[in-house]
Structure 1
Amino acid sequence: MSPALAALRDDLIVGEITDRTEFAPGLALLADPALGARGSWRSPAGRLLELDIATAGRGDWIALHLTLDLPDLTPLTYFGFACTGVAPQAHVIHPCLRSGGPEGGFSDAFFDRHILTRTDPVAHVDALHLPTRRRVPPLAPWRELVLFLPTVSLCWHLHDLRVFTA
């Protein structure tokens, strides 16, 4: 488990949501300022993150960003993640692997399956087959797992999130 996720799982932590909210070093919520994202978050002991987000405007994006220590993917065949969560309403979340470019910028490789939130806890597992993904450079100065949330008010309890490679 990443250090950012381990820190959240161990203790009760609470805070306010803005367009740039850092939950722990390496895990942040970033939103288009035009969205006017506000709300609260908490990380109860034994769970990862409970988000209660209210939006006041029209924006283009809001996403959870998990920093990954994976600059070199050449020895790997798969990159994936598993998560469990629950929400009072159904929402679609779009996961992607973001790779920084050597001259700046980035490229996104979206996973084939979206995360669908439900009222009962549901597990989601997906992986990218790296040799067949042209948008995933084998070497990158930085990488993130990005979970693009809907640009509407939402409540989502992310119970667990794990990243794996093979």
Structure 2
Amino acid sequence: MIDNISSGPEANLNYALSVLRENQTSGDIAEHPEIQPGITLHADPALKLQGQWHSPAGRLLELDISTNGQGSWFGLHMELGDIDLSQVGIIGIACRSAATTIEVVRACIRSGRSEGGFDDCFFTKRILAHPEASSHLDALQVGQQQNLPPQAPWRELILFLPLHSFRLNLHDLRLFIV
């Protein structure tokens, strides 16, 4: 059992990630895109994805993906709820990853609009996953982001994944809000 004693607006996601990190689970990309409640893989059907995801104890996620088509999006979506950013200065991510070849991953905060639709606010730096495990840190100054409204009915942290076949290990991921 993992205690949920974290506080702050990022606590729900960080707790969900700690549960994933401590358990062992796996699934087929096409049949089980939900890794656990609130953490889901979404892909453009035109990619015709095949492959497996695996969450070994002590790590978040290992992806072994084959694409058999051309598509325009593939992402790991993590629900953040309706986090209020009106009193926040910085929102950021820290992660550790590795890949069999150098892969580029883009991270963004997606904020829903009450009238429908959403805004994506991308972190400035791209995550580069290398054959050797590497760390990544990036942050956004909330007040300076046009696409990051202070309030939103829902938000997600999304890691946009490669649109070609790849193997990627996400060792760790944390969200921080200051």
Which TM-score bucket, shorter chain as reference? over 0.9
Find the residue that maps to 1:99 and give its secondary structure: strand
1:20 deviates by 6.8
RMSD, aligned CA: 1.3
1:84 deviates by 0.2
> Following the alignment from structure 1 to structure 2, what is the Cα–Cα distance between the partners of residues 104 and 97?
16
> Following the alignment from structure 2 to structure 1, what is the Cα–Cα distance between the partners of residues 42 and 26?
17
What residue is the counterpart of 1:54 in the other structure? 66
**Which ranges in structure 1 are unaligned for 5 or more consecutive residues?**
none
> Following the alignment from structure 2 to structure 1, what is the Cα–Cα distance between the partners of residues 84 and 100?
39
* Runs of 4+ with >6 A deviation: none
In the alignment, is the contact (CA less than 8 A) between 1:99 and 1:107 conserved in 2? yes
From the superposition, tell whether residues 43 and 80 of structure 1 become closer, same or farther in structure 2 (CA, over 3 Å). Answer: same
**Which ranges in structure 2 are unaligned for 5 or more consecutive residues?**
1-12
1:11 deviates by 1.4
Find the residue that maps to 2:33 and give its secondary structure: strand
**Residue 67 of structure 1: which of 79, 90, 93 is its match?**
79
What residue is the counterpart of 2:100 in the other structure? 88
TM-score, L = length of structure 1 = 0.96
TM-score, L = length of structure 2 = 0.90
Find the residue that maps to 2:18 and give its secondary structure: helix
1:45 matches 2:42: no
> Following the alignment from structure 1 to structure 2, what is the Cα–Cα distance between the partners of residues 18 and 79?
32
**Residue 110 of structure 1: which of 118, 122, 127 is its match?**
122
1:99 matches 2:122: no
Find the residue that maps to 1:5 and give its secondary structure: helix
Amino acid at match of 1:100: G
In the alignment, is the contact (CA less than 8 A) between 1:86 and 1:117 conserved in 2? yes
Q: Deviations over 1:68-97 (max 9, x none)?
A: 134310010100010001001011111111
In the alignment, is the contact (CA less than 8 A) between 2:81 and 2:153 conserved in 1? no
Q: Deviations over 1:138-159 (max 9, x none)?
A: 0000001111111001100000
What residue is the counterpart of 1:133 in the other structure? 145
> Following the alignment from structure 1 to structure 2, what is the Cα–Cα distance between the partners of residues 35 and 119?
24
